[in-house]
Structure 1
Amino acid sequence: MIRFFISTVLLSLAAAIVQAQALPERLDSLFQSLNQDGELSGAFMLVDHGKMVYEKYLGYEDAAKTTAITADSRFELASVSKPITAMAIMQLEEQGKLAYGDFVSRFFPKLPFASTIRIKDLLHHTSGIPEFLAWDESWIDKSKVYDNRAVLEVLESKVDSLLFQPGDRYYYSNSNYVLLALIVEQVSGLSFADYLRKQVFEPASMLQTALIPAQAAAHAKQKQYAQGLAYHAPSKTFKPIDQFSFFDYTRHFDGISGPFGVASTAQDLFKWNEALKKNTLLKRDNFVKAISVDTLNNGLPVKMGDLYYGFGWIFTDSTANPEKMHFHTGGYPGYKVIVVREDKNQRYFIALLNKWNTIDVVPLTTAVNAIIQQREVPEVTREVFSEAITLMEFQIKALLGTYQFTLDPALTIVITADEDGNLFAQLTGQQAFQVFPKNDLEVFYTVVKATLQFSKTDQQVDALTLLQNGQKLLFKKIK
């Protein structure tokens, strides 16, 4: 679910001749190097030429470290739920119950501008519907837990304009997949949970997979469920997400499914891959549509940065190659996830982590790919939380405010803090991410490799510079 700015990802599980007996040892060496402090926590699996060649479980399901992660541990899939939601839509299209060109006014007549938005716009994130995770706080009733229907009601009553004309451009918005899940319910006559269970999970033998609200599962101490954890800088420990006041929105939105909400195991995701490979859930020609390039209104391809976005899948190859690599990442407070498929060599990589700010799954996948190809393995760095310091109250207050991009006034970064002194940065149109102080004028992200450096004039903080991907972007403080 997480996205970020100016982010470029190139993944390839390309063909290579490897010695099977050496591959597990090389992978073990990688994960040992990343787990020297014992804080790497997750499930990892690699399939090569159709055979499982590596399976690793590290860490614990809980902050107290009482229950080890095993093959039966379920993780919130975050945005890796999107390919599953898209599968439900594709099944209904295959059955002739809807068409990708259908306007969503067929399903949501009260939704503003619904007569201009097509189902394929929801699938591609080209609808222009604003992101519900970036709603103004005044729109949210904090006394209740929102489900998909409640999100629709707010969209119907509060959204008076789209961000752009549908089909004009790409804009990642989880609201799209909330609406897709509601469409599945309307067309099938089943709840979204029941539809996925009957039409996706059971046919694929994914018997440990279900829609499970993450916060509800954590509070109920549900067995075989990896609780989402994050680093708490003041105490220098990992804590459950619900102990961070800033992440209250995960409780308010805990009843939502479609963009996230699926909980699964590495073993079940292996079965998902097998079901896709064997065309158990959808005819092959119809699945290929999910990894095919579509175009915007101006004829340019639908792209997510340098990548192409299909029906819930991301890919780098613009050709009609049905065996090309495709993937999706996922991030939600407490979780980082990636699933990568490549049919030509029947390769499949899964990484499920329940500590969302320890390691980025994209560099991890790149390193695994290098090992497969017997190339030099690029460095994969763990976040060094020992570099994080605790600021005094006056130092925190000096950083707070709204900073405007000098080259585009519509783009801002808002710096806020919770009651415990944890700092957060929010880019326009996105959710807020926690940042960690390295000194009184520099903070670093952990969800991506990026840093914010603050600067002063006459002893007052009046600007910040975003450093990411070799670029330096200046933002001036406006309030």
Structure 2
Amino acid sequence: MAFLKIQFALLRCIIASFCCLFLISCQETGNDIQLDDLFEEEDSRQQVLIPASFTPDSARQLGTKVDSIFKHLHKRKGFNGTVLVTKYDQVIYKGAFGYADFHRKDTLTTKTAFQLASVSKQFTAMAIMILKEQGKLSYEDSVQQYIPDFPYKGITIRQLLTHRSGLPNYTYFSDELWPDRRVPITNGDVLNLMAVHRPRIFYKPNTHFDYSNTGYSLLAAIVDKASGMPFATFLQEQIFAPLEMKNTFTFSKDMAVVTESVATGYTSGRRKRTPDYLDTVLGDKGLYSTVEDLYKWDQALYTQKLVKRETLEEAFRGSRPEKKKDEDYGFGWRIRQLESGDTAVYHGGLWHGFNTYLLRNPKDHSAIIVLSNLTNGSLNYLKDVRRFLYPVQPVITASDNTKHSKAASAQL
């Protein structure tokens, strides 16, 4: 009996592997996102066991259901944007709904670039992790080691990463302190405002979690200092180029020449949202990317292409000992339990007409990537997608186990 069980288990693994290969071969060649050349064996790719139930047919059924959900969101809730959903590392659905520019009626595609808003933070965190592995900084270093005139003592890089610095939000105090909003403000300008005016700190460092755009703008400035190159250049050379994220870049006036298409942001009522003086601050936001490039990013996080696995694992570890909610925070990632009971990492973003969302479930190597250029609240309905992909698991009681045992005995 034991021998038969082993044979059956091996057969299931063979079938699952065949199904995975069949899925890859069945994808449309013209729309494939080729990853084989990016993540080779020496990158020690993290594997996932693919169940025999995940077949080409089941994958198509999942994709069809996801398509119907987003068609409903587009038609009934006004969703305008692009989508990519994966399961067991495979793309089960890609779609684009609406326009990149409502005035010109430019149709969105999955190669259209969107402002990532706070989804940018995970890339800033990765830059810090790369520098840490290169020996150019430590998480316990103080901000003053890189920015000597920084006026707030006792704040470390780790506290910036985990939103435990207590610093005030630059997007608020800059409105009061920046003299001319027609002039773009840089990360260096934010630092100068803090050094001169010393806006009041919210909390003593490391006593509270307080979500801080200022902290991540400071991290970008630290990357400048520690690496000896501009933050944007570091991201391009150390992350985007190695992962062949060819349509990912930082905010600039020449964005349109970098990619096939850049979406225009719109607020509710389809009012065009033009960039303003705050868009030039990087680290907390300011990255543009596509759902296809973000899939490459998602897949890279299952390898050691950028940093070692133990370094990356710390980014997905909670940092809030006093937390009261069902959510924690790592390095640039929110951490929470899904309806299925699985623990996922994710981040959302909202900035100047853009609403973004990236969720990863390491248990089944799945991801939900959604980019929108219309901030009308439609992404609030992504819970329908999550509930479909990660349904609530039934609670098995002691009596259920007893019934199951009796039924099994009766069959024997």
- Is the aligned partner of 1:306 residue 2:326? yes
Task: State how far apart, in whole Å, the 1-side matches of 2:310 and 2:144 are.
Answer: 28
Q: Encode CA deviations 1:332-378: one digit per residue, 9 max, x unaligned.
A: 121111111112211111000000124125x31x21122224679xx
- Match for 1:350: what amino acid? I
Task: State how far apart, in whole Å, the 2-side matches of 1:38 and 1:312 are.
Answer: 29
Q: Residues 374 and 180 from structure 1, CA distance in 2 versus in 1: closer, same or farther, beyond 3 angstroms?
A: closer
- Match for 2:329: what amino acid? Y
Give the secondary-structure state (helix, strand or coil) at the position aligned to 2:378. coil
User: Going by fraction, where is strand more abundant, 1 or 2?
Assistant: 1
User: Going by fraction, where is helix more abundant, 1 or 2?
Assistant: 2
Task: Please list, as runs of the form range in 1=range in 2, the aligned pairs for 1:138-149 lying within 5 A after superposition.
Answer: 138-141=176-179, 142-149=181-188
Task: Please list, as runs of the form range in 1=range in 2, the aligned pairs for 1:131-170 lying within 5 A after superposition.
Answer: 131-135=169-173, 137-141=175-179, 142-170=181-209
Task: State how far apart, in whole Å, the 1-side matches of 2:302 and 2:336 are.
Answer: 20
Residue from 228, 239, 244 that aligns with 2:271: 239
Task: State how far apart, in whole Å, the 2-side matches of 1:373 and 1:348 are.
Answer: 11
Q: Residues 222 and 92 from structure 1, CA distance in 2 versus in 1: closer, same or farther, beyond 3 angstroms?
A: closer
Task: State how far apart, in whole Å, the 1-side matches of 2:392 and 2:330 are.
Answer: 30
The alignment covers a number of residue pairs equal to 337
Contact preservation (8 Å) 1:39, 1:59: no
- Match for 2:141: what amino acid? D
Residue from 216, 223, 227 that aligns with 2:264: 227
Contact preservation (8 Å) 1:107, 1:186: yes
Q: Encode CA deviations 1:377-432: one digit per residue, 9 max, x unaligned.
A: xxxxxxxxxxxxxxxxxxxxxxxxxxxxxxxxxxxxxxxxxxxxxxxxxxxxxxxx
- Is the aligned partner of 1:284 residue 2:289? no
Q: Residues 175 and 359 from structure 1, CA distance in 2 versus in 1: closer, same or farther, beyond 3 angstroms?
A: same
Contact preservation (8 Å) 2:182, 2:276: no
> Who is 1:83 aligned against?
122
* 1:63 Cα offset (Å): 2.1
Task: Please list, as runs of the form range in 1=range in 2, the aligned pairs for 1:52-451 lying within 5 A after superposition.
Answer: 52-113=91-152, 115-135=153-173, 137-141=175-179, 142-213=181-252, 216=253, 224-232=261-269, 238-242=270-274, 250-295=275-320, 300-301=321-322, 303=323, 305-316=325-336, 324-361=343-380, 363-364=381-382, 366-373=383-390
Q: Encode CA deviations 1:116-150: one digit per residue, 9 max, x unaligned.
A: 10001111111111001112633022231001111
- Match for 2:291: what amino acid? A
Q: Residues 82 and 286 from structure 1, CA distance in 2 versus in 1: closer, same or farther, beyond 3 angstroms?
A: same
Identity of aligned residues (%): 30
* 1:162 Cα offset (Å): 1.6
Task: State how far apart, in whole Å, the 1-side matches of 2:149 and 2:190 are.
Answer: 13
Residue from 69, 74, 77 that aligns with 1:35: 74
Q: Residues 274 and 284 from structure 1, CA distance in 2 versus in 1: closer, same or farther, beyond 3 angstroms?
A: same
* 1:217 Cα offset (Å): 6.0
Contact preservation (8 Å) 1:217, 1:225: no
* 1:27 Cα offset (Å): 1.3
Give the secondary-structure state (helix, strand or coil) at the position aligned to 1:288. helix
Q: Encode CA deviations 1:404-463: one digit per residue, 9 max, x unaligned.
A: xxxxxxxxxxxxxxxxxxxxxxxxxxxxxxxxxxxxxxxxxxxxxxxxxxxxxxxxxxxx
Contact preservation (8 Å) 1:170, 1:304: no
Q: Encode CA deviations 1:263-309: one digit per residue, 9 max, x unaligned.
A: 001100000011111221111110001011235xxxx24x4843101
Task: State how far apart, in whole Å, the 1-side matches of 2:245 and 2:77 are.
Answer: 30
Contact preservation (8 Å) 1:112, 1:160: no
Unaligned runs of 5+ in 1: 1-14, 233-237, 243-249, 318-322, 377-479
Task: State how far apart, in whole Å, the 1-side matches of 2:190 and 2:257 are.
Answer: 25
* 1:39 Cα offset (Å): 4.2
Contact preservation (8 Å) 1:335, 1:355: yes
Unaligned runs of 5+ in 2: 1-49, 394-412
Q: Residues 205 and 121 from structure 1, CA distance in 2 versus in 1: closer, same or farther, beyond 3 angstroms?
A: same
Task: State how far apart, in whole Å, the 1-side matches of 2:166 and 2:244 are.
Answer: 36
- More displaced stretch, 61-70 vs 255-264: 61-70
**Higher RCO (CA 8 Å, separation ≥ 6 residues):** 2
- Match for 2:327: what amino acid? L
Task: State how far apart, in whole Å, the 2-side matches of 1:25 and 1:264 are.
Answer: 25
- Match for 1:372: what amino acid? L
- Match for 2:261: what amino acid? Q
Residue from 21, 35, 38 that aligns with 2:60: 21
Task: State how far apart, in whole Å, the 1-side matches of 2:245 and 2:324 are.
Answer: 30
Q: Encode CA deviations 1:46-93: one digit per residue, 9 max, x unaligned.
A: 110111000011111112142111122000000000000000001111
Q: Residues 220 and 357 from structure 1, CA distance in 2 versus in 1: closer, same or farther, beyond 3 angstroms?
A: farther
- Match for 2:268: what amino acid? Y
Contact preservation (8 Å) 1:128, 1:166: yes
Q: Residues 155 and 343 from structure 1, CA distance in 2 versus in 1: closer, same or farther, beyond 3 angstroms?
A: same
Normalised to the residue count of structure 1, the TM-score between the two structures is 0.66
- More displaced stretch, 124-133 vs 135-144: 135-144
> Who is 2:89 aligned against?
50
- Match for 2:266: what amino acid? L
Task: State how far apart, in whole Å, the 1-side matches of 2:67 and 2:204 are.
Answer: 49
Give the secondary-structure state (helix, strand or coil) at the position aligned to 2:268. strand
- Match for 1:28: what amino acid? D
Give the secondary-structure state (helix, strand or coil) at the position aligned to 2:194. helix
Give the secondary-structure state (helix, strand or coil) at the position aligned to 1:368. helix
